[in-house]
Structure 1
Amino acid sequence: MHSAARIPYLLCAPPLLLYALLLATPLLATLLLSLYGFRPESGIEATPGLGNYLEILSDPYYHAIFLRTLALAATVTGACVVLGAAEAVVLTRMAPPWRGLFLLVILGPLLISVVVRTLGWALLLGGQGPVSQALQALGLAAGPVSLLQSPGAVVLALVHVLVPFIVVAAWASLQRLNPEIERAGASLGAGELTILRRLVLPHMLPGLLGGAVIVFSLAATAFATPAIIGGRRLKVAATATYDEFLNTLNWPLGAAIAVLLLAANLAILLLCRRLLERRRSGGAVARQEVAA
């Protein structure tokens, strides 16, 4: 191979090596661990097999955990897409001084530790928190009301921290939209909703899809928020993996849960990527037809 042709490979070698050491190696070790057996009286057994995966796939208990995890992630993603799209449109139409200030406010949750942020929500939603006291003051509750250990509380806490990913992705997509297009639509009699639906949303859709993939992955694998806000009554895949590793010490079963969760996330990521590529190819064909 010519020396000049080897330059891209040499430049890619350091990050690929770092990726292999810090990510691929632990993932491979987790996959291999998930194939081992386990006995409570003797611990991990070096008898490779698919017993852990068969146990998870055949047990309704784990079915409920994975369905709850996917439903929770889908709900969080939907709420983030709606809120993030609206916030991105508002940010785009703000003047520069206010735009930077409000963008900092939106990104604020990412600057706080996940544990501190989650404990703050626990205090707000607890039986002695401001929400409970406000409900009692308004006469909507006769006594202390705790909103913890409920799906709604977990969704609220996760949306609070994950919506900035949608806002940034959608806002970046809107930067490529020429403002003259909206003015042209308005001059032709289109209303505000029509402009948003037919002009703004199509330009924002790639960013929304990309941000939604990130939000779904982070929500499905979140641990601290479901563990603190949801508690033991609202177990998801991440907390189930934690319990298997540190409570029952069944590391192979915990590794199998983690591998299946990763596989589900990858499958959804590939599906969204395929939809995005299909949309791009359809848009290119439509532009070619219009040009012809």
Structure 2
Amino acid sequence: MAEISTRGNGRQWFLSSPALVLFLGLLVVPLALTAMLSFNAFDSARGTLPEYTLSNYLEVLSDSYYYELFLRTALMSLGVTVLCIVLGVPETLILARMRPFWQGAFFVVILGPLLISVVVRTLGWSIILGREGFINASLVSLGLVQKPVQLMFSMTGVVIVLTHVMLPFMVIAVWSTLQKLDDQVANAARSLGAGPLTTFRRIILPQLMPGILSGAIIVFTLSASAFATPALIGGRRVKVVTTAIYDEFLSSLNWPLGAAVAVLLLFGIVFVVVGSNRLIERKFKQVFS
């Protein structure tokens, strides 16, 4: 009865109003203003004009340059997501078998990238990836390469650094799902003659899929919208959508065009995430049913 009374008098809206105001003020309102800005006209002499047009979207959708940027961003995000899955899932499984003391210690190591400023972390990686950095010095000293490999100002370097940054999100997502698993199910499969690989593929992996999917969505979204790492590691040689938006806002001062690219990036991320989530869930239901 108390629950029904609380629902009827609107008290739940009053209690949730601070979170709703924060959500509207920090997310909905800026996105709405950006979407409105994307329809403004622009003149190189007079700047943003109080006129509304679709020319900004037509310019982006009719220029192959922007298609190349979106494709490069998508491939970069997909590569980071795949690497995080390949590295994060086994890492989480190993972490789950450790003693509590070592679990806590390694959790600090895994979550370390999230505790450091993104600029400081990226500048540290720029030193490691440089021609005289640790990686190239090690490769040359081991005789694996004859001369330093170009890692800075390359897509390879951007993917390496983003993988290091995004890996904790994958580990956290898989870890939360792993804590809900029942070890007795896997033990029952082993007692019935299933091998380790079969047990993992038919028993453990399907139960881990919600965590893997949620982690993949988080990693893909954050990678596609990352700016500091592509800007500092990729430089001017590796242009992605976020650095193009930055150039339009602060270099060309064409705010409406930059806003249009930002809105298209948002819709592209939402479309890819929602579509891939539904497709993957449907595929795994068919495979493991």
* Alignment match, 1:92: 96
Q: 1:165-180 alignment to 2 at 5 Å?
A: 165-180=169-184
Shift of 1:106: 1.0
* Alignment match, 1:247: 251
Q: SS of 1:222's equivalent?
A: coil
Q: Does 1:74 align with 2:78?
A: yes
* Alignment match, 1:160: 164
Q: Does 1:233 align with 2:237?
A: yes
Distance in 2 (CA, whole Å) between partners of 1:169 and 1:140 is: 36
Q: Does 1:147 align with 2:161?
A: no
* Alignment match, 1:122: 126
* Alignment match, 1:289: none
* Alignment match, 1:102: 106
Asked if structure 2 preserves the Cα contact closer than 8 Å seen for 1:209 and 1:272, the reply is no
Shift of 1:151: 1.1
Structure 2: where are the runs of 5+ without partners?
Answer: none
Question: TM (normalized to structure 1)?
Answer: 0.91
Letter in 1 for 2:26: L
Q: SS of 2:48's equivalent?
A: strand
Q: SS of 1:45's equivalent?
A: strand
Cα displacement string for residues 230-280 of structure 1 (whole angstroms, at most 9, x for unaligned residues):
110100000000000111111111111111111111112322453577589
Asked if structure 1 preserves the Cα contact closer than 8 Å seen for 2:6 and 2:12, the reply is no
Q: Does 1:136 align with 2:150?
A: no
Query: Which segment is superposed worse, 187-196 or 156-165?
Result: 187-196
Pick closer, same or farther for the CA change 1:25–1:241 going to 2, 3 Å. Answer: same
Letter in 1 for 2:122: T
Shift of 1:141: 4.1
Give the counterpart of 1:205 among 205, 209, 218: 209
Query: Which segment is superposed worse, 96-105 or 107-116?
Result: 96-105
* Alignment match, 1:290: none
Asked if structure 2 preserves the Cα contact closer than 8 Å seen for 1:148 and 1:230, the reply is yes
Distance in 1 (CA, whole Å) between partners of 2:145 and 2:6 is: 75
Distance in 2 (CA, whole Å) between partners of 1:30 and 1:268 is: 21
Asked if structure 2 preserves the Cα contact closer than 8 Å seen for 1:118 and 1:229, the reply is yes
Pick closer, same or farther for the CA change 1:139–1:274 going to 2, 3 Å. Answer: closer
Cα displacement string for residues 61-93 of structure 1 (whole angstroms, at most 9, x for unaligned residues):
111001000110011011111111111111122
Equivalences, count: 283
Q: Does 1:50 align with 2:50?
A: no
Query: Which segment is superposed worse, 96-105 or 243-252?
Result: 96-105
Letter in 2 for 1:115: V
Distance in 2 (CA, whole Å) between partners of 1:196 and 1:131 is: 34
Shift of 1:2: 6.6
Letter in 2 for 1:207: G
Shift of 1:140: 4.1
Letter in 1 for 2:17: A
Cα displacement string for residues 106-154 of structure 1 (whole angstroms, at most 9, x for unaligned residues):
1111111111111111101111112222233233444444311111111
Q: Does 1:215 align with 2:219?
A: yes
Distance in 2 (CA, whole Å) between partners of 1:166 and 1:199 is: 20
Give the counterpart of 2:267 among 243, 263, 266: 263
Letter in 2 for 1:102: F
RMSD value, Cα: 2.0
Question: TM (normalized to structure 2)?
Answer: 0.92
Structure 1: where are the runs of 5+ without partners?
Answer: 287-292
Letter in 1 for 2:106: F
Shift of 1:182: 1.5
Cα displacement string for residues 181-231 of structure 1 (whole angstroms, at most 9, x for unaligned residues):
121111112111111111111111001101111100000000010001111
Query: Which segment is superposed worse, 191-200 or 262-271?
Result: 262-271
Letter in 2 for 1:91: L
Asked if structure 2 preserves the Cα contact closer than 8 Å seen for 1:33 and 1:255, the reply is yes
Distance in 2 (CA, whole Å) between partners of 1:179 and 1:141 is: 46
